[in-house]
Copies of this chain bind each other. A is one copy, B any other.
């Protein structure tokens, strides 16, 4: 009923439209969901982190491309037994509902970003989200310097933010020039003043710090 599968970074896990005869939980690594138009325009529509769920009960066709961003380990369940489990243990459905509602909120926050934010605000928002996630894990004080590693290429950032990679590069440079962030190399980012970064996101300044 349950088995593990591994994928290398960059490998496609499922193609949009393919039949998906299992559901899975991410054990390790990061995978991304994306949609691609016929002419190649691409938009990332979601991120799967460890403990996130892939696939949905009652549908076999995958609606998006799923790509391994890092090496990924999945814990897969065949569809039949899994749906059995859902019917018999209410907590599974409830837990899945919680997670799906969180993903929906994240997607809707992203709608505002894609629909209404400027390029600079988009970059600042992405950096703030990543920084916040890492800071939460590290139990770090938000008020002082904080350094983290950007886990994605400029192109991946562009695909998330609905921009071109040139614009991403320019805006990152601009934020650096303006002292909002510092860079060591291309990927290591330091935030000297978190509230300064938050000002640049365009979001309400009084919003709660923790997500």
A190 vs chain B, min Cβ distance (A): 27
Given A97-B57, A97-B100 in contact, is the A46-B108 Cβ separation under 8 Å? yes
Copies in the complex: 2
Asked whether A115 lies within 8 Å of B112 as measured between CB atoms, the reply is: no
Asked whether A41 lies within 8 Å of B93 as measured between CB atoms, the reply is: no
| A174: Cβ under 8 A from any B Cβ | no
Asked whether A104 lies within 8 Å of B100 as measured between CB atoms, the reply is: yes
CA distance A56 to B100 in the complex (A): 11
**Stretch among A32-40, A137-145, A179-187 lining the B interface:** A32-40
**Which residues of chain B are within 8 angstroms of A98 by Cβ–Cβ distance?**
57-58
A interface, size bucket: 35 or more
Asked whether B110 lies within 8 Å of A111 as measured between CB atoms, the reply is: yes
A116 vs chain B, min Cβ distance (A): 4
Asked whether B108 lies within 8 Å of A33 as measured between CB atoms, the reply is: yes
A57 vs chain B, min Cβ distance (A): 7
CA distance A64 to B111 in the complex (A): 12
**Which residues of chain B are within 8 angstroms of A37 by Cβ–Cβ distance?**
112, 116, 202-204
Within 8 A of B (CB), among A66-119: 86-87, 90, 93-94, 96-98, 100-101, 103-105, 107-112, 114-116
A35 vs chain B, min Cβ distance (A): 5
A138 vs chain B, min Cβ distance (A): 26
Q: Of B35, B93, B203, which one neighbours A108 at CB under 8 angstroms? A: B35
Given A38-B204, A97-B93, A97-B96 in contact, is the A115-B116 Cβ separation under 8 Å? no
| A42: Cβ under 8 A from any B Cβ | yes
A96 vs chain B, min Cβ distance (A): 6
Closest residue of chain B to A38 (Cβ to Cβ) is: B204
A129 vs chain B, min Cβ distance (A): 15
A-B contact list, 16 entries, CB within 8 Å: A37-B203, A41-B116, A45-B108, A46-B108, A57-B97, A58-B98, A63-B105, A86-B94, A87-B90, A87-B94, A103-B104, A107-B107, A107-B111, A114-B115, A114-B162, A115-B162
